[in-house]
Each structure stands twice: as C-alpha cells, then as structure tokens.
Amino acid sequence: MNAEGIRAVYERFARTYDRGQWIPEGLFLKRLRRRLLSRIRCEGGCQVLEVGIGTGINLPYYGPSCVITGVDLSRPMLERSMARAHRLGRQLSVETMDAETLAFSDQTFHAVVSTLTLCTTPDPLRFLKEISRVCRLEGRVFLLEHGLSTAKPVNWVLNRLAPGHLGRHACHLTRDVAALPEQAGLRILHRERHLGGVVVLIEAAPRR
C-alpha cells in the first residue's frame, strides 16, 4: 500500500483509533511504551522527533526535558495528538509529513522515536535510513514495533492473517522488524523481545 492509501486508512480511523487500542494498551503496550521512552537520556531542551505520532499515545511517557516534534501522514491524527498535548500541558509541534522523506536537516534531533510505524511504512529500509539521517551522531533511535515471531506456529498464523490485515489496517504482520534496523545501517545498542518475539523494543544509534 502506498502513502496515499495509508493516509486514507488513518484518516478514516482517526476518530476511533484510541478506543480501538484500549485492550492492547491496557494489557501490554502502555508498559512497553513507558519502558522504551524511559531509555531517552538527555538534559535540558532535548530535541525529540516522533515519526508516525498518530494521536499522541506516547506523550504521557516522555520526560519533562523532551521537546517533541511529531510527524504523521494524517492531519486528523495530528489534530488529536495536539488535543492530547493540550490536555497534558505539554508543548508539541506537529507537521504533516511522509517519514520516508523527512523535511529536516541532517543530525537535527537528539532522539528519534517510532512506535508501531515500521509495520506500516511502504519502504521500511528507506524509513529507517531517513530517521537515522536526522538523528545526531551521538543521538539515539528508539523503536517499539511488531512483526515476525521467534516461534514458527505464531508465524504460520501471522502469514494467514497478513493479507486481510494489510488491506484493512495498512499494517504488515510479517516484517522481520528485529533485523531491519541493522540492514538499514543502524548500530543496535539494546534489543528485547516480548509476546513470543512478536513485539520488539530496540535502542539503536547511527553509525559514525
């Protein structure tokens, strides 16, 4: 699915997206979001880019020193992220933008965050190379993504579900998200798997 198709899917979901996520959020995603974002270590005006920020679900878990910029294909999703930021009393800058062609200079951000976006973007290697490009050399890339499991029976199920899920949700169930960052040239600093290996939490750095 191309970028315009993805935009259409998420503009349709914008109003109901958060309600549709309350079960996985309550069971495990909230804990993993907090775990991921607690790894951001910076002081005083740390510039953070979140790609695919959506409705801003991650906003409560950023430290107070993080100055957050969010980008997303869907303007209605960004409007909801701005409303969430206002409720939380957080400053947030947003732009409608394709994460595969980021309109930021090289080495702009101290940290770049992606949660559940690598499964959606049409060209995941291009996506990862772009977020690496805009991350400072001493900065970090933080990923919370889902894809292939470490268990063959789970992958059998994912492969059966994948075509229909892609059409409905613009989401690939069978990408090897654990391997993609290294293929894109990122240096893995920390990687952990959850839920039978389906969900992967990664901290990485651009290669010098």
**Each residue's pLDDT expressed in tens, for the chain with a length of 208 residues:** 777 778 777 788 778 888 888 888 888 999 999 999 999 987 777 999 999 999 999 999 999 999 999 999 999 999 999 999 999 999 999 999 999 999 999 999 999 999 999 989 999 999 999 999 999 999 999 999 999 888 888 889 888 988 887 777 778 888 999 999 999 999 999 999 999 899 999 999 998 7
Structure tokens at 37: 């974002």
Using alpha carbons, select from 192, 189, 193 the residue that is nearest to residue 203: 189
Q: Give 74's contacts (C-beta < 8 A, 6+ positions apart).
A: 7, 10, 11, 14, 54, 96
> What's domain 3-206's architecture?
3-Layer(aba) Sandwich (3.40)
**Could you tell me if 51 and 98 are in contact, meaning their C-beta atoms sit under 8 angstroms apart?**
no
Strand partners, 96: 72
In this predicted structure, what is the pLDDT of residue 103? 96
d(CA 137, CA 148): 29
**Could you tell me if 170 and 5 are in contact, meaning their C-beta atoms sit under 8 angstroms apart?**
yes
Q: Classify 5 in phi/psi space as left (phi over 0), alpha (psi -120 to 50) or beta.
A: alpha
In this predicted structure, what is the pLDDT of residue 55? 95
